[in-house]
Structures are given as structure tokens and as C-alpha cells.
Structure 1
């Protein structure tokens, strides 16, 4: 398959046991086309998105192309608390070839739709935040006219216009435009927005598109009940939820290895509490982690954060 590669099992390594105590002993590296439809069991499908062409176009720090494998290598060493009946698959990586971001997003969309049709729960490892457009298109292709709510943990709206070209800063604008063409309601909640990371025009676009958002000042444990209420109200009005976590939304104290770092971001605890609300709703259909940039990571800290988030979701979904 063009723009696709199977994961080599050697990427998954760590402490050995005879009881599959670690995730590297639980995971199976497969090709998507070979996956059988899951029958009455929980199947988690990890898929890489090795692309930072959108980050490059958006004048960010490149390096997120290597994000998927960095997350895998960190996750491999984590303990396995999944049941014996749960299947964990590594379905390979979508690769951006010849700087062709648009084709890469189409390939991602096709494979997301295929994974959902096989009754798996996809977790996509990025890669720039342009991952969101291809990911959403795949969900839309599978669900048809169902109402899909997008929840984005991020410092940025990523609602920049595509008047010149698509980038890592345009995915939710593109999703909104697609909704407009279909005469559908754009349901978008962004948690962790910073005024020092979005210009006045982006706030105007967010207002015009009726985007719901919480700024960082109100996205923390001091406002937990308020955050939970916002999430529950948003989720109640949609049929399914697609969640995307941009690692650059976290403070660089937790996530230095990203394309656009800032010390002013949010903390992991409020994200975990939010994920609990989303998962408990039973409406979460797919999730991704964006902007993992190992080039600038320190002691694998950001990769560990990304792996911890994946570990939490796969064990609570």
C-alpha cells in the first residue's frame, strides 16, 4: 500500500516476563488489511501518522514525523493491565511521501474508516495536528450523517483559513467547511485555548463558527466541576465523540518535545479528569495524539506523557 508501512516488532521492547506483564508482550504488529472483524471482544488498534509537512507549512518546528515511533517505544515499557480477552494491535504507520500532505490525509481517512468497520477502537499516534482532518474524514465516512462532536485539547483553535494551503493550523477550519457544504452543524469544543497563542482573527472565526471553548485560566483542577459540566453538556448533544490531544497544549514543563512549546499550557491531571468524562459517556469512537516531536524532547518526557495518555484511554475505554 502506498504511504503505509508495517511496524517492526523490534520497536516494541522492554522488561520481559512470562505473564505478559508489559505492553510489548501484549501487542501484535499487523497489516490493516489482514485484521479480522472483532467478535464480541475489545480490540484496540494503534496507527501511526508519520507526517509533519503540515507543521512545516505552518512555520513550526519539524520533527513530529518521528513522533509515532517515539510514543510506541515509550508505551512498550508500560505495564499491561488489559484483560486476556482484549486484543492490542499495532496496525503500522501512514507515511507522508513527497511532501504530499493531502494524499496522506486521504490515506489516513481510508484506514480509519476501515478500522472502525472492523469493530476496533483506533488510537492514532502523530505526527502534526493535520492528523485531525484525515482522522475526522475517516470517522465521517464510516458513520455517515451521525452527529460527531470534536473535542480538542489544545492551546490553539487550528481554525486558520485554507486560502493558500492546508497546514497543521487548518484542520478544524477544513472540517467546518465540509460541514457547511453538507448543511450540517459543526460541533467543536476546544479545551485549553490561550490568548497568547491565537490572534484576534482566530477568535472571530471561532465565534462565527459557534465554537465552544475554555481558556487555560479556566481549564484546571480549580474549575473541575465547571469543566465536567461543559463536557457533559457538549457530549449530550452529539451521537459520537472524536477526541484529539495536541501535546503542545500542555505546559512545556510536561511536554517540551512539541512543535510549538509554551510554559503557559495546562497540566495532565485536568486532561485525565476530562478523558474520564468522555469515556464514561460511551460515545468516544476514536482518539489521536498530535505534535509529538522527539527532536526536542528531554529524557523522553513528552513521549512518556503521550504514552501515559494512551495507556489511560486503552485501559478505561
Structure 2
């Protein structure tokens, strides 16, 4: 089920006489069924059905609005011609996750074909199947790479239906032109067949130990090699790649994770590539958060807008 953007969320503090200093003053709302806006489109996926099926902590269904509320007072540092539009949410009805994923993918495809940039907010990581499908459907004859900041491969089997841990497996099963670079993989939380699947698909990954221990120069060289082979690239940021100390409000807390300074330089470099066409942030679970994870998610959305606007 789709619901258009809600302007009432975009309210916050402002200085006297201020008209264009913070995001809530410039973000507009729209109905995708009426018109696809230009510029950046904020689109939520209200779902934790996939988290529930994956035996995670539920609560991510409320993630998109938590991220929006953390974005309202972000400072404007981009040209007045840049448009930010909240285009609303796709909401899972009951257990109809697969239908909602297909619906979200159609909207993403339409946004991309309009030449706009979708910024997707979850919700469980099942958002990334829809994200990937939308990009792959929009560019069927091109090599599409997804860079996933995540301790999990998300290559689990899905005999009982899609879930938050199966989206990458589903994309491999459905699309020959899907390519994959996970960053932050923790061996302890990924079973051996997932490593075998990556080898069989001739895909590489960067482990959590490498993310935390290798030089930024070496990491960027490996990431750039992947990007150079792709026609289009999209990014997914699973908030549970971060240590629980900085991101408590996630579906699966991480006792051995990254800190923002490990990921932001890599992300910002990736965003400078003209091949990056979309971004999602996943596993925001406000039920378990004290505001830290929501603000962290908002800071990455901020970086996406500013780096793509001022590469």
C-alpha cells in the first residue's frame, strides 16, 4: 500500500527571518501516482515482516518516520535549484511483504527513469530486494553493482518467503546482471554456504576485520575496482554494521561493529562516482533506539545529498 508524503512531519526549529536554512524549510511532499518529482526523492518502506520472518527484533516498521524526524533540522548547504521531496511510504499490509516489495520496486524504477535520485528509508533490510529489483528493472541491459555496508551477507535461503536476510540471494536468483560487494562481513554470523555462494558467483567482499584494520587507501582501491567494472551502482547501508554503542536502535545489535569514521570516508568517496544512482538505509528500529541510530541514519542521508550535489 502506498501513501503520499506528509508535510506535517517537516517542522522544526528556525532562526527569526530564516527561510532556507534547514531541511524542513525546503523539503516538499508529493504523490508519486500524480507526478514523479525531479531531484532527490525520499521514499520509506514501512516493514518489519522480513525481520520477523528472520527472527530479528521487530520495530523497524516505524523506521522511516524516525529518520525523517532526525532530518528536519539538518542544515542546507546546497544550491537553491536542488529539490528534496518526501514522496511518502510503501507500507506492508499484513503479511503481504512480497507484494509490497514489487510495489516499491515499481516506484523506484519510475523515479530512476525520470532521472531522479531515490533515497530509500527502512524498515527491515528486505527493502534492498525491492531497491535492487527497481534498479535492475530500470537498467536491464547494464551491469548493476550493489555495495552493502553490513556484517551479514544476506544470502540466506527463503523457502518460506522473502525476509530481511535473503534479499541478495533473491537478486542473484532473479538477475544475471546483479553484482555484489558486501563491506563489513563478520565470519561469525555468516554460515559457510554463504561464503561458498560468493565464490561460486565470483564475487568479493571486505570483512569487518579488514574494514577496521586496513588503510583507507587500500579499502578504496578495492571498492574502486568493483565500481570500475559496473555501469550503475547503488548503495545500501544496514545500520547494524555499526557497533551497538553508536547504533542501538537496530534489528540485530552488533557487538563487533564499525564506527562512523570507518565508513563515512568510504561512503563519501563512493558517492563521488557518477555511477551511483540510488541509496537506502535499512534496519532502523526506533522501538529499540534512544535517538542515536536515527541521527546516524540522517547524517548519511545528509552526506548522500551533499556529495551527489557537490561531488
Could you say which residue in structure 2 is the equivalent of 1:224? 216
**Aligned with 1:132 (options 125, 128, 153):** 128
The 2-side partners of 1:9 and 1:203 are apart by 45
Question: What is the CA distance between 1:197 and its match in structure 2?
Answer: 1.6
Cα distance, 1:37–1:57 mapped onto 2, change above 3 Å:
closer
Answering whether residue 189 of structure 2 is matched by residue 176 of structure 1, we say no
Could you say which residue in structure 2 is the equivalent of 1:304? 295
**Aligned with 1:206 (options 183, 193, 198):** 198
The 1-side partners of 2:281 and 2:148 are apart by 10
Summarize the alignment of residues 86-97 of structure 1 with structure 2, pairs less than 5 Å apart: 86-97=82-93
The 2-side partners of 1:186 and 1:48 are apart by 23
TM-score by length of 2: 0.95
Could you say which residue in structure 1 is the equivalent of 2:57? 61
The 1-side partners of 2:91 and 2:177 are apart by 31
Could you say which residue in structure 2 is the equivalent of 1:22? 22
Cα distance, 1:35–1:269 mapped onto 2, change above 3 Å:
farther
Question: What is the CA distance between 1:151 and its match in structure 2?
Answer: 0.4
Kept in 2, the 8 Å contact 1:186–1:209? The answer is: no
Cα distance, 1:165–1:274 mapped onto 2, change above 3 Å:
same
Could you say which residue in structure 2 is the equivalent of 1:31? 31
The 1-side partners of 2:36 and 2:105 are apart by 19
Kept in 1, the 8 Å contact 2:9–2:69? The answer is: yes
Summarize the alignment of residues 231-246 of structure 1 with structure 2, pairs less than 5 Å apart: 231-246=223-238
**Aligned with 1:286 (options 273, 278, 282):** 278
Question: What is the CA distance between 1:67 and its match in structure 2?
Answer: 0.2
Could you say which residue in structure 1 is the equivalent of 2:160? 164
**After alignment, is 194-203 or 283-292 more displaced?**
194-203
Per-residue CA deviations over 1:54-81 (Å, capped at 9, x if unaligned) read 0000000000000000000000111111
Unaligned stretches of 5+ residues in structure 2: none
Kept in 1, the 8 Å contact 2:136–2:178? The answer is: no
Kept in 2, the 8 Å contact 1:231–1:277? The answer is: no
Aligned length: 306
Cα distance, 1:178–1:209 mapped onto 2, change above 3 Å:
same
Question: What is the CA distance between 1:253 and its match in structure 2?
Answer: 1.1
Cα distance, 1:186–1:8 mapped onto 2, change above 3 Å:
closer
Could you say which residue in structure 2 is the equivalent of 1:144? 140
Kept in 2, the 8 Å contact 1:221–1:270? The answer is: no
Runs of 4+ in 1 over 4 A off after TM superposition: none
Kept in 2, the 8 Å contact 1:46–1:90? The answer is: yes
**Aligned with 1:10 (options 8, 11, 21):** 8
Per-residue CA deviations over 1:269-310 (Å, capped at 9, x if unaligned) read 222111122122211000100000000002x00000000000
Per-residue CA deviations over 1:146-169 (Å, capped at 9, x if unaligned) read 110110000000001123321100
Kept in 2, the 8 Å contact 1:44–1:122? The answer is: yes
Kept in 2, the 8 Å contact 1:30–1:89? The answer is: yes
Summarize the alignment of residues 262-277 of structure 1 with structure 2, pairs less than 5 Å apart: 262-277=254-269
Cα distance, 1:147–1:74 mapped onto 2, change above 3 Å:
same
Per-residue CA deviations over 1:35-69 (Å, capped at 9, x if unaligned) read 3564xxxx111000001100000000000000000
